[in-house]
Structure 1
Amino acid sequence: MTTQPPGLWAIALGSPLVSLLALFFIRSSIKSYKEGDNPDISKSLTSRSLYIGFLGKVILLLFWLGLLVLISVVNGGQVTFVDETLWRYGDPNLTERILFFGWIFSLTLTPAAIAFEAMMFVHATLKDTVFGIDNNLRKTFTTAVFTGIGVISFIVGSELMESVIGYGAAGGVFVGVFLLAVRKPILVILDKASNRFIPSTHTPEETAYLEAYATAMEDLIITVEERKLLDMMASTYGLSEKIVKQLEEEYNFSIEEE
């Protein structure tokens, strides 16, 4: 039975430690930008995005490490290619099925950690140059997480029903129908979480337009006169129709959640 070389384990286990060290440096940069006589909020938000990216990566990698340790303890030793082959093509019992899917799930955690870090890095670098990047990243994050939950739930449900009644598809169908029924509250929760990870950033002109639009929308109706004033304000601030539409959609979506 072939085990992984110690060097590979050292590289894998060293990654969370390096990211953890980076967290301390980024944390100190956030404080330095916020404090002082001339605080720089923009750079503070940039450092915050990088900090959240590294923090998410560390949490996922530590979870991956804990899962590997748990699988190894239950398996009675380090998982090898032979173990994985027997779990996949042999006649596994319920425990071995759980170990197999736990092992497969662990393989997705490292790419997920890197993807989350990359997403926050994109937000940090493009938030001041690409309008709407925060909204696009939030939608991507929400969709990806919900899809991941659906896939994992489908597999787990199928395996449980396969072990109980010998027909796994029934569990998958049940889980799929259940997720469709409760998808709206789940998406709301994910969207609120993504709003904490990726806060909206606007220029002073965009913020002023949003405030004016919020005032006009107090009665949830935009009159003809109010629309003319908003159009005049957008023209004065140099906001394009695309930006205005996205700002208004962002505000409308926020009040729909309340």
Structure 2
Amino acid sequence: MADVGPILPYYLRNIRNISFSEGNVLGVNYIYGFLSIITFIVLVALAFLIIRARPKNPENRFMFVLLLAEAYRVVANWYNAYPFEGSQGFLHVLSSYRVGWYFCSIMCIMMYISAVSFYPPKKLEFMAQPKIKNNLWWFLPAVAAIIITALVSANGIVGTVGGAYYIECEAGSEGQPATVISYADSPPITSTCGAEDDTTYVPNSFFVPGSSDIGKLLLITPVFSATIAMLFMRAGWKRLSQEPGRENEAIEARSLFLGFAGKAIIKGTMVFCIVFMVIRFGDFNLADVTTIIETEGERVVFTYLVLFYGFLFSILLTGMLEGFMFTYAILKNEILGIDEQLRKTFSAAIFATVGGIALLLTSEIIEGFVPGGGLVAGVVVGAPLVILRRPIFGAIQNFSSVLMPEAFTAAEKSYLEAYEIAMEDRVITDEERKFLRLQAKTLGLDEARVGHLEAWYDRQLSSEEE
């Protein structure tokens, strides 16, 4: 890698100098890289939580494989989380990883639609046959492997997923051509080390992935498959909610519907914005933003970069939403308090994400008017978040509760039934409390969980009386 000096000051310098209008987005790459790794860890943890609950259940196996594929996909920019040394060997690793990324994309395209096997509407009941749904978890990855192998064999790695490049700017190279190392037969690109008078841009090094026609198609297709899956889940949810005794399955179908809806709407919006920009201005060479600014202007570059990184961050957001909703659907009645933990974690993630995006956008807007825009933005965004954190977080938690309603295991339902009997006269006597404690001990419920259950029941009781 380029001699960037101590790594922490290097990160801080690039984050502090983020400017979409000037094309200084290395700091965004590093932020995204770290967040993608965190999201990857969360999704892998959720996947193993699902498979450990019921390892032989076909639905758990299916969701386990799907979440692992999503985890692989969200960490798409890991190579820009650190200024790695550029070489043909590393570019080969990067390109091989991207082949795996598109393999997971193909697998997800099929798995989204095939999820209907577990909650089928009437017209697709044949998908619920055991010989179909019990084998989806291994059959679809096998098909995806055959497809990606055929594509790479016919077109090569570069022809399938696009080229890969390492860009390096040494100290003192402001305004000069950057050193570019291209993988194999990647199409040549140019890169400039910022503007001549910009001393904050160098030294640096980063990687730029290329694109291909096949890659672009595989980038867009998951949005359509998620939309189809959303419609299937909506139909399955509607059907199950109308059938007696299948309310629990209806809630599960609803959770999957929301997960797919989030992906289809949020990611779909960003994908089509990117497609519009490409149609309007052509493919941008993100390794040479300086030249693009000269030819297209700062406003176009600003818009493109905002949409581009909006798309990247939408991968993290929708991946996280999908992971939480699918885990809730599968485990809400299996693990004590899992719904509460999922809501808390999801709320914290949304709060942090919204705060980070607000800080970044405010900094970018203020920078053009006030020197030291980042510091001012920190005050403008940070102060309200600190002062109003409780009502804001409360609103987010209410939203999370709408997405993931309170759910109880069999043991928790038994305790609630006992508590309901004890609360018939709205008073818990000493004898009733002793009985409830014994009941909780028998059911394996700790004091904290018992308190949560009783508080939930009391809130429901109060709302009914009002």
TM-score (norm 1): 0.79
For residues 158-192 of structure 1, the C-alpha deviation after alignment (integer angstroms, 9 at most, x for no partner) is: 22221111211121232111111111121111111
The aligned residue for residue 67 of structure 1 is 273
The aligned residue for residue 104 of structure 1 is 309
Work out whether residues 155 and 172 of structure 1, in 8 Å CA contact, stay in contact via their aligned partners in 2. Answer: no
* Aligned equivalent of 1:22, options 222, 226, 229: 229
For the pair 1:124 / 2:329, whether they are aligned, the reply is yes
Shift of 1:239: 2.0
Shift of 1:80: 2.9
For the pair 1:40 / 2:40, whether they are aligned, the reply is no
The aligned residue for residue 13 of structure 1 is 220
Deviates more, 1:139-148 or 1:18-27: 18-27
For residues 204-257 of structure 1, the C-alpha deviation after alignment (integer angstroms, 9 at most, x for no partner) is: 5523533665775998x976555324214435xx32242x522422553785xx
Shift of 1:197: 1.1
RMSD over aligned Cα atoms: 3.4
User: In the comparison of the two structures, how many residue pairs are matched?
Assistant: 247
Work out whether residues 363 and 376 of structure 2, in 8 Å CA contact, stay in contact via their aligned partners in 1. Answer: yes
Work out whether residues 210 and 248 of structure 1, in 8 Å CA contact, stay in contact via their aligned partners in 2. Answer: no
Deviates more, 1:106-115 or 1:192-201: 106-115
For the pair 1:239 / 2:446, whether they are aligned, the reply is no
State how far apart, in whole Å, the 1-side matches of 2:335 and 2:253 are: 17
**How do residues 1-258 of structure 1 correspond to structure 2 at under 5 angstroms?**
4-36=211-243, 38-69=244-275, 71-72=277-278, 76-82=281-287, 84=289, 93=298, 96-97=301-302, 99-168=304-373, 169-203=375-409, 205-207=411-413, 209-210=415-416, 213=419, 224-235=430-441, 238-242=442-446, 244-249=447-452, 251-252=454-455, 255=459
Work out whether residues 334 and 409 of structure 2, in 8 Å CA contact, stay in contact via their aligned partners in 1. Answer: no
Shift of 1:15: 0.8
State how far apart, in whole Å, the 2-side matches of 1:87 and 1:250 are: 59
Match of 1:81, SS?
coil
For 2:444, the aligned partner's letter is S
For residues 13-68 of structure 1, the C-alpha deviation after alignment (integer angstroms, 9 at most, x for no partner) is: 111111122223323332343334x4322222222222221111111221212432
For 1:142, the aligned partner's letter is S
Q: Give the greater-gyration-radius structure (CA).
A: 2
State how far apart, in whole Å, the 2-side matches of 1:154 and 1:132 are: 33
Deviates more, 1:53-62 or 1:226-235: 226-235
Q: Call closer, same or farther: CA 1:197–1:218 in 2, change over 3 Å.
A: farther
Work out whether residues 213 and 248 of structure 1, in 8 Å CA contact, stay in contact via their aligned partners in 2. Answer: no
State how far apart, in whole Å, the 1-side matches of 2:234 and 2:302 are: 42
Match of 2:368, SS?
helix
TM-score (norm 2): 0.46
- Where structure 1 has 5 or more consecutive residues not aligned to the other structure, the ranges are none
Work out whether residues 94 and 163 of structure 1, in 8 Å CA contact, stay in contact via their aligned partners in 2. Answer: no
Identity %: 26
